[in-house]
Structure 1
Amino acid sequence: MSDVKLICDKSFSEVDQEVVDCFIEFQQALIDNDSDRLNEIVLDGVEFTNLIGKAQSKKEFLSQVTEEILVFTDSEILDPTILFDDEDTASLIATVRLTIKFYGNDRKMISNNVASFQKTDGKWHISKWDT
Structure 2
Amino acid sequence: MSNVILNCEKSFSSVDLSIIERFIEFQQALVDKDFDKLNDIILEDFVLVHMSGKTQSKKEFIDEVIDGTLNYYKSEIDEPTILWDDENRASLIADVTLTAKVYGINGKWTLNTVINFENIDGEWYFSNWEN
Letter in 1 for 2:33: N
Structure 2 counterpart of 1:124 = 124
Q: Displacement, 1:86?
A: 1.1
Deviations 1:23-50 (A, max 9, x none): 1111000000001000111111111001
Deviations 1:78-115 (A, max 9, x none): 00000111111100000000001124431100110000
Map 1:90-129 to 2 at 5 A. Answer: 90-129=90-129
Match of 1:7 in 2: 7
Corresponding residue for residue 66 of structure 1: 66
> Bigger CA drift: 99-108 or 15-24?
99-108
Whichever residue aligns with residue 25 of structure 2, its letter is E
- TM-score of the pair, normalised by structure 1: 0.97
How far the C-alpha of 1:130 sits from its partner, in A, is 0.5
Question: Which residue type is aligned with residue 31 of structure 1?
Answer: V
How far apart, in 2, do the equivalents of 1:19 and 1:103 lie?
29
Q: Per-residue displacement from partner, 1:53-81 (whole Å, max 9, x unpaired)? A: 11111111111101011100000000000
For 2:102 and 2:116, the matched residues in 1 are separated by 25
CA distance in 1, matches of 2:105, 2:83: 35
Kindly provide the amino acid, as one letter, of the partner of residue 40 in structure 2: E
Structure 1 SS opposite 2:2: coil
Identity %: 50
TM-score of the superposed pair, with normalisation by structure 2: 0.97
Equivalent residue for 1:37? 37
Aligned length: 131
Output the amino acid matched with 2:83. Answer: L
**Matches of 2:104 and 2:61, distance apart in 1:** 17
Stretches of structure 1 that go unaligned for 5 or more consecutive residues are none
State the SS of the aligned residue for 2:11.
Answer: coil
Please identify runs of 4+ aligned residues in structure 1 that moved more than 3 A: none
